[in-house]
Structure 1
Amino acid sequence: MKNMTARNHCTVTEFFLAGLSEKPELQMPLFLLFIGIYVVTVAGNLGMITLIVLSSHLHNPMYYFLSSLSFIDFCQSTVVIPKMLVSLLTETNLISYPACMTQLYFFISFGIAECYTLAVMAYDRYVAICNPLLYSVTMTYQIYSSLILGVFIFAVFCASVHTGFMMRIQFCKLDVINHYFCDLLPLLKLAYSNTYANELLILFFGTLNICVPLLTIITSYIFIIASILLINSTEGRSKAFGTCSSHILAVVVFFGSLAFMYLQPSSVNSMDQGKISSVFYTIVVPMLNPLIYCLRNKDVTVALKKIRKKFM
């Protein structure tokens, strides 16, 4: 009876976002910190995409995947950070129901796309190091463009399912989302109707979208490490490890924070801990990825120097 009443009479038009901190004295320092991070993120990721487009010797699958990752990181940070910056400057941090669902949709889309892009990049490194003679045959334009397209199609599908089921949930009052953006778990805590199907979806897709990419990455690197150890020269081994180290670092930070947020039992999961974990994969990782790949990749560094000399 309660659910029927909720279904007929509940029409929530907006939510409050709790934000990262409720302490007024922290609002301005946090605003300055995150606007600085956002500027670095936008400059780094758009700069990486531009560099790959302008540098002809970076026109290969590895860097096309990297440009796709940079695009995802730019979009992911843009979905989350601007609204958070507005929230830090305003006392009444409201978000409308349609805006909340839109933010949730794009956040899930780009988050899942990043998971599978990192997995595809690991597979690309596996082919390049373990089967270098077959690389040009295996990674043709049709194959790597299909992989990138497949990643985005699957991400959009998962986001559509999650958001569709979330829109079936009833919210019966202007309530506070204990987060700095609209995410699945904080929204479900405010639900008035049954959320069992949503929780099953989160568990299923969460496990699938973390475990499948991780298994792909781990399997690829087992073969990669085995191949690298067979290389006789120390210089050859260090060069091979160098092409993978930045990717491994990005994987550890991203998947570690994701697993901490979504693969804990609800009895253990704390939303305050979840906020800190979310900061890593929504804000810190998009900023770090271009810096990691730029500083730890000789090809990118050389291309950057050439472009700089050209424009100077």
Structure 2
Amino acid sequence: MPGRVFITRPIPDIGPRLIEEVADEVEIFPHDRPMTRTELLDAVQGRDGVLCMLTDRIDAEVLDAAQGCRIFANMAVGYNNLDIPAATDRGILLTNTPGILTEATADLTWTLILSVARRVVEGDLEMRSGRFPGWGPRYMLGADVSGQTLGLVGPGRIALAVAQRAIGFTMRILYTGRRVESSFEALGAAKVPLEELLQQSDFVSLHVPLTETTYHLIDAKALGLMKSTACLINTSRGPVVDERALVDALRSGQIAGAGLDVYEREPQMAQGLAECANTVLLPHLGSATRGTRNAMARKAAANLNDALRGRRPADLLNPEAWRDPPHS
């Protein structure tokens, strides 16, 4: 039953090694960049399984080109790049890699909170450029973190891990969501409407998936509700924030700063964002630790191998597409 597998970008070696134990043939796109549309459409033909990235748009056109393919295993937690209904209609399984990058992304969220608040990047540039004039009582004053209010938009695993770290900073924690979350309430967090969270928080951290309802969730109106001393942190998905509106808010002093790891049109940024000194801008490093990326590659490979063997993958996104294999 195992067959031919294609991997759309070089990944940690553990992934291909595991797949090679099962598949008859494994081919890896040799260049460390996203595949072009034409390259992707050509490469998926005749494959029994594809291990893909968040940067690969897997829609009806790709799924039709991959006729006969059993699974597209996404090496990411987010899956807004996958057309789940189209795959389900064609009986193609889709999987992701949940529960692995929680701690790494929560750590990076806190890296951004502290870096923006204490002007770490600006200070580093002062030293490297030789502009540091010596200690002064009003030199490069930043924002307090301990004892401030942290607002978490989207009460998922990563937001919970961020909240747990906030306890050590004696922060007041607010969160938004459809229902009361006992794990957040146990930390003393309070569920409030988004508008109230934006108005009261000193740091607003985004942890929502990208959907039709979260696209531009943080727009000019939302930014206008925030304190002028508040900072916005985004380690979720870039299009959750209207980047042009964010640039305007940063330039005008509507908000004090922003820490971003994701962007609306990656790898590009909105015009003017790079010139905003009150930002910390990272190149999508949320899960970029050796241990986390190895674990993601391992989990994606395990999902793919299960499908090749006729087993139900553990992280199946479209269970409606699953059919028990015929018994011999």
TM-score range, shorter chain: under 0.3
TM-score by length of structure 1 reads 0.25
Structure (1/2) with the larger strand percentage: 2
Structure (1/2) with the larger helix percentage: 1
TM-score by length of structure 2 reads 0.24
